[in-house]
Amino acid sequence: MAEVRELLDANLNRVFNTRDAVARRRAIRETYTDDVTFTDPEGTVQGHDALDERAAALLARTPDTFEFVEDGPRYVGADAGALAWRFGPPDAPVARGIDVITVRDGLISELRTMLTHGD
């Protein structure tokens, strides 16, 4: 069973930062419940396939030089966590946000992504 800290890392780095479809799909199976709910500004989807499609679509429409990087400390509770991130070229991010996860039975059951809108 994974710890919240490890799940935050897997969500950002092994899933949303992974352009290799096979590796990303494996990480999704190891990180999220079958019925995971993912909500971001584009809406809400449920399940492994939908989550994979969202991650793949995001990465497909951005240059290979774009990457997610942690942008602050990880916040960890018994069954929840949060992690701020930035996305874009390493020295010039084009987006910033935060992921908030809910954990059930050692897997992410809910992922909410919120973006900053100006300073």
The CATH number of the domain where 90 resides is what?
3.10.450.50
**Nearest to residue 55, comparing CAs of 76, 71, 73, 36?**
36
Residues 86-119 have pLDDT tens digits of 999 988 999 999 999 999 999 999 999 999 975 5
pTM over 0.85: yes
Give the whole-angstrom CA distance, residue 52 versus residue 93. 23
Residue 70 sits in which domain range? 4-115
- Domain count along the chain: 1
**Average pLDDT in the 30-46 region?**
97
